[in-house]
Amino acid sequence: MSLNALWEFANPRKFIATTDRVLPWVAWAAALMLVAGLVWGFFFTPDDFRQGSTVKIIYLHVPSALMAINAWLMMLVTSLVWIVRRHHVSALAARAAAPVGMVMTLVALATGALWGQPMWGTWWAWDPRLTSFLILFLFYLGYIALWEAIENDDTAADLTSILCLVGSVFALLSRYAVNFWNQGLHQGASLSLDKQENVADVFWYPLLATIAGFVLLFVALVLMRTRTEIRARRMRALLARERMQA
Amino acid sequence: MIALLTRDLRLAIRAGGGFGLGLAFFLIVVVLVPFGVGPQSALLSTIAPGILWLGALLACLLSLDRILALDWEDGSLDLLATSPLPMEGIVSAKALAHWLTTGLPLVLAAPVLGILLNLPVAGFGWLVASLALGTPALSVIGTFGAALTVGLKRGGLLLSLLVLPLYVPTLIFGAEVARRGAEGMALTTPLALLAGITCGTIALLPFASAAVLRANLR
């Protein structure tokens, strides 16, 4: 598919028709991968020799943290598309992704706290990674609140997309600022492809499955929510037309 | 641009409220802190730089919705938008006026309040320096937030929700400079980063604010 064909999905009708066919596949694949990965991870992998069974939180923690950041990146891209090419579907997709990303952030924070209690001896520490995730959560909150607050759809899309751009820069700034501000307790990246010391393969394969499951789940949820937004907007237009005629 | 600036300054000083209110709020926050944490002077002097920075930030936040809301209500913002002055210039002038009426008094008042919190003597100079460097960024970021929420009926709470996360880097580096200054540590790095954030926001954010304001006025 060439890049030009991608813009066809800016047409809401085309988008709905395509997602009609794609959505069930994505949703079932997400369910399959999640169930398979979680069952495999929870019941068929050994306990870690130091962390015991708490290591299994990794199957929820890492994918949700990954998706929390990727959801914001996706919002950034769709916001840019809205600013540059003004496709409504793009703005609606950004709007649809925000609550999903916020929940992912919350899941990552909550599972991290559950793991941190037995392992670090505390639910919460002002560690750079934890802090920047909390700040990311605040950014999601503000973004969603701004969408809700503005009545005119196009103005709301404009304002939120600019907020998303500015927010991305500041989120990045905050990420490195908190690094400077406090020393870390959180372990470093353990899934890098280019490093010697990584997660052991027993944990790595089920983790890969749950990561795929979370990605698919995110895609399915965003598609579903975007369709809802498109239909809600269409319904509003129809109602308005009806009122005009009455 | 200068005419707009002087007009805003005159309005802020004569129309009452804006000018003194931020300062009074700053004073009250600083006075309330010892009631909250206890009067031990050793404790107070360790947290003094952070409290002073937080107080200044909140006082700044309090006056943000006045930057644009009044002009929006009486329609002068529409007139300004049709003037030959580019929108970026308008928001920059507004931010500068906000800093002159809010940030600058806070910077000047901070040492006096530092005495109340038992700030170590070495810290006074760096506190003033960090505030003087950091508050312009607060004003510029705040103007962006004010532009985002200008059309809303009850935008005040939303404004704080949007602006406070954006204040995080400035607060971190500003408070770090003040803290290290008070403890007599090396502080070139946070000072340079704070200056970098201020310069960066002043250079770039007016474009975002102007774009937002244009969308709001459409």
The full DSSP string for A194-214 is T-SS---HHHHHHHHHHHHHH
Query: Tokens 């924070």 map to which residue?
Result: A109
Q: For residue A204, what are its two tokens?
A: 């790595």
What's the pLDDT tens digit per position in B173-190?
Answer: 999 999 888 888 888 889
Q: Judge whether B181 is closer than 8 Å to chain A, CB to CB.
A: no
Average model confidence (pLDDT) for chain B?
Answer: 88
Nearest-Å Rg of the Cα atoms of chain A is: 20
Look at residue A8 and tell me if it is in a domain. no
Cβ neighbours of residue B182 closer than 8 Å, sequence gap 6 or more? B45, B48, B49, B119, B120, B122, B123, B126, B127
Rounded Cα distance, A137 and A107, in Å: 11
Chain B interface includes A66 (CB < 8 A): no
Q: What is the DSSP string of A70-94?
A: HHHHHHHHHHHHHHHH--HHHHHHH
- The pLDDT of residue A221 is 95
What is the per-residue pLDDT across B50-68, written as a single tens digit (0 to 9) for each? 999 999 999 988 888 888 8
8 Å CB contact between B151 and A155: yes
A29 has a chain B CB within 8 A of its CB: no
Identify whether A88 is part of a domain: yes
Residues B147-163: tens digit of each pLDDT: 999 888 777 889 999 99
Cβ contact, residue pair B190, A180, below 8 Å: yes
pLDDT, tens digit only, all 246 positions of chain A: 456 667 777 788 888 888 889 999 999 999 999 999 999 888 888 777 677 777 788 889 989 999 999 999 999 999 999 999 888 889 999 999 999 999 999 999 999 888 888 888 888 888 888 888 999 999 999 999 999 888 888 889 999 999 999 999 999 888 888 877 776 667 666 655 555 556 677 778 888 899 999 999 999 999 999 999 999 989 988 999 999 887
B61-119 pLDDT, tens digit each: 888 888 888 888 888 888 888 888 888 998 999 899 899 888 898 999 999 898 888 88
Residues of chain B positioned with their CB less than 8 A from the CB of A166: 144, 166, 205, 208
Closest CB to A155 among B155, B158, B215: B215
pLDDT of B26 over the 80 cut: yes
How many contacts (CB atoms, under 8 Å) link A and B?
A: 76
Task: Answer whether residue A168 is part of any domain.
Answer: yes
Do residues B48 and B114 touch, judged by C-beta distance below 8 A? yes
Report the percentage of chain A scoring pLDDT > 90.
48
HEC letters along chain B? CHHHHHHHHHHHHHCCCHHHHHHHHHHHHHHHHHHHHCCCHHHHHHHHHHHHHHHHHHHHHHCCHHHHHHHHHCCHHHHHHHCCCCHHHHHHHHHHHHHHHHHHHHHHHHHHHHHHCCCCCCHHHHHHHHHHHHHHHHHHHHHHHHHHCCCCCCCHHHHHHHHHHHCHHHHHHHHHHHHHHHHCCCCHHHHHHHHHHHHHHHHHHHHHHHHHHHHHHC
Nearest CA in chain B to A146: B158
Side chain identity at B38, as an amino acid letter?
G
Does the residue A41 lie in any domain? Answer: yes
Other beta carbons within 10 angstroms of residue B26's beta carbon come to 24
pLDDT value of residue A2: 57
Q: How far apart are CA A158 and CA A152, in angstroms?
A: 10
First to last CA, chain A: 46
Higher pLDDT, A198 or B145: B145
A159 CB near a chain B CB, below 8 Å? yes
Contacts 24+ apart (CB under 8 A), A15-21: A15/A89, A15/A226, A15/A227, A15/A230, A16/A227, A16/A230, A16/A231, A19/A223, A19/A226, A19/A227
Residue boundaries of the structural domains of chain B: 2-217
CA B10 to chain A, closest CA, distance in angstroms equals: 30
With a CB cutoff of 8 Å and minimum separation 6, the contacts of A221 are: A96, A100
**ipTM of predicted assembly, 2 dp:** 0.87
Whether A68 is covered by a domain: the verdict is yes
| Among A21, A87, A31, A7, residue whose Cα is nearest residue A221 | A31
CB–CB of B152 and A158 under 8 A? Answer: no
Report the alpha-carbon distance of residue A109 to residue A112 in Å, rounded: 5
- For A232, B55, B112, B114, the CA distances from B27, given in Å and listed in that order, are 49, 8, 10, 10
CA distance B69 to B158: 14
Q: What is the pLDDT of residue B18?
A: 60
Domain holding A168, by residue range, is 23-245
Kindly provide the b/e burial profile for residues B160-187, where b requires at least 16 CB atoms within 10 angstroms of the residue's own CB.
Answer: bbbbbbbbbbbbbbbbbbbbbbbeeeeb
The CATH number for A61's domain is: 1.20.120
The tens digit of pLDDT for each residue in A30-47 reads: 999 999 999 988 888 877
Q: Which residues from B are below 8 Å from A159, CB to CB? A: 148, 212, 215-216
Q: What is the pTM of this model?
A: 0.89
Q: Is residue A48 helix, strand or coil?
A: strand
- The pLDDT tens digits of the residues spanning A95-137 come to 999 999 999 999 999 998 888 888 888 888 888 888 889 999 9
CB interface of A with B, residues 209-238, below 8 Å = none
- Residue-level pLDDT at B121: 85
Closest among A83, A88, A81 to B211, alpha carbons compared: A83
H or E element at residue A156: helix A153-181
| Residues in chain B closer than 8 A to A150 (CB atoms) | 151-152
The residue written with tokens 């609550």 in the block is A99
- The residues facing A52 across adjacent strands are A48
Q: How many domains does chain A have?
A: 1
